[in-house]
Amino acid sequence: MLKVKPMDSTALTYSPGLQVLRGLAALMIVFLHLGVAEARYGSDGYQFLEGFRVGAAGVDIFFVISGFVMMLVVQNKNPRPVLFLKNRLSRIYPNYWIYFLIVVLVWMIRPGWVNSSMSGTPDFLSSFLLFPSAGPPVVSVAWTLEFEIFFYLVFTLFLWISREHLAPLLIGTFGVLVILGVIYQPESLLLERITHPLLIEFSAGVLLGRVMMLRQVSGLWLTIPVSVVIFIFYQMGFELTQLISVADHLERLVNFGMPAILLVLGIVALDMKYDVPYPNIAIKLGDASYTLYLAHILVISASGKLYQSLDFNESFSNLIFIMGMLVLCVYSALMAYQHIERPLLAFVRKSLQKPQQ
């Protein structure tokens, strides 16, 4: 039985369910890439993760959470714009640079091992700065961080202009940018990024944060099973875009963005209403979700090459491969978070707070 919270404790605070949802989103992406690795490195037998498409929606869940949490940070901590931006960039860059440097070292020794499915030479400076470039990214999953950086920059700008009108300014601006992208469909990668429909998911998170601060609406947690059903149907081949006709470049927003918004809304509403006893391991996985997101490709790639050299031929070996790689990805992320990400973030933020000489 879930314990109902007292009415005076239903103010909007950080939802532990969101941390669990972060971990779930990261795991969805891990399973997506495990499916790719199974096809590439596994045996010729049965492919257990063949066609696992819904894992890509983990990115969309992350984006909605990001918009929601930023509104929560402004509401509860009221940071100065410069401090807000410092904190967000320190959250993204230092930990990312560790994996960036690892991949660069691998590229220097064995170039064919880095993004071998992509053509062209990586633009190392752009990848280091998380700036869109024509070349393949050094860290393959870093393309999503380019959106995060743009979101933080725009958010900081409007935080400086007007806290009171922050949400409508940001939502309106991103809406206009997406409309311009739909109309003109720019060929420039930079313009494509800053007019991409994925910006609507950040905006939706901001809107959710603004709405949920105003009141608690009974029964909103029911959007959780609705979103889960939509995701399950998508995996089975029944997509929302079969019911809602949209242009090709808006399909992701409908198929993944809409259920992601419903899922975040439901989790927040659930935590506002009830004390949910989330498993501790689920919370810890959410804490380590950023490291899991960055590191899992390296773990899977290195382990996959080793696994392939063992030359297993039985179908069952693919299941062993998946489970083994999953455990290794999760364990390595938890250890890296505890011993690298947390200390590094604490050191960087402490350094940023030192008074300038």
Q: Evaluate whether residue 163 is within a structural domain.
A: yes
Q: How far apart are CA 147 and CA 130, in angstroms?
A: 9
| pLDDT band, residue 216 (cuts 50/70/90) | low
Mark 146-167 as b/e (b = at least 16 C-beta within 10 Å): bbbbbbbebbbebbeeeeeebb
Work out how many domains the chain is built from and give that number. 1
Q: Evaluate whether residue 86 is within a structural domain.
A: yes
| pLDDT band, residue 357 (cuts 50/70/90) | very low
Q: How far apart are CA 197 and CA 179, in angstroms?
A: 8
If one compares 219 and 167, the residue with the highest pLDDT of the two is: 167
Mark 109-130 as b/e (b = at least 16 C-beta within 10 Å): eeeeebbeeeeeebbeebbbeb
Q: Evaluate whether residue 356 is within a structural domain.
A: no
Q: How far apart are CA 262 and CA 259, in angstroms?
A: 5
Residue 307, pLDDT score: 80
Q: How far apart are CA 63 and CA 36, in angstroms?
A: 23
pLDDT digits (tens, 9 = 90+) for 307-329: 877 766 566 688 888 999 999 99
Q: Evaluate whether residue 299 is within a structural domain.
A: yes
Cα angle 126, 142, 35 (rounded to 5 degrees) comes to 140
Q: Evaluate whether residue 357 is within a structural domain.
A: no
Dihedral of CA atoms 160, 166, 172, 173 in degrees, nearest 10, equals: 20
**Whether the Cβ atoms of residue 34 and residue 326 lie closer than 8 Å to each other:** yes
Among candidate residues 264, 283, 277, the one with its CA nearest the CA of residue 221: 264
Q: Evaluate whether residue 158 is within a structural domain.
A: yes
**Whether the Cβ atoms of residue 138 and residue 104 lie closer than 8 Å to each other:** yes
For residue 126, the enclosing domain spans 3-351
Between 8-17, 62-71, 77-86, the lowest mean confidence (pLDDT) is in 8-17
Does pLDDT of 43 surpass 80? no
Query: What backbone phi and psi angles, to 5 degrees, belong to 274?
Result: -130, 155
What is the Cα 323 distance to its own chain's centre? 22
| pLDDT band, residue 305 (cuts 50/70/90) | confident
pTM of the model: 0.94
In the block, tokens 């019911």 appear at 243
| pLDDT band, residue 1 (cuts 50/70/90) | low
Say which residues have a Cβ less than 8 Å from residue 173's Cβ, sequence separation at least 6: 154, 158
| pLDDT band, residue 354 (cuts 50/70/90) | low
pLDDT digits (tens, 9 = 90+) for 221-275: 999 999 999 999 999 999 999 999 888 889 999 999 999 999 999 999 999 888 8
Residue 249, pLDDT score: 87
Tell me the average pLDDT of the chain: 90
Does pLDDT of 156 surpass 90? yes
Q: Evaluate whether residue 22 is within a structural domain.
A: yes
Query: What backbone phi and psi angles, to 5 degrees, belong to 247?
Result: -65, 160
Does pLDDT of 122 surpass 90? no
Q: Left if phi > 0, otherwise alpha if psi is -120 to 50, otherwise beta: which for 130?
A: left
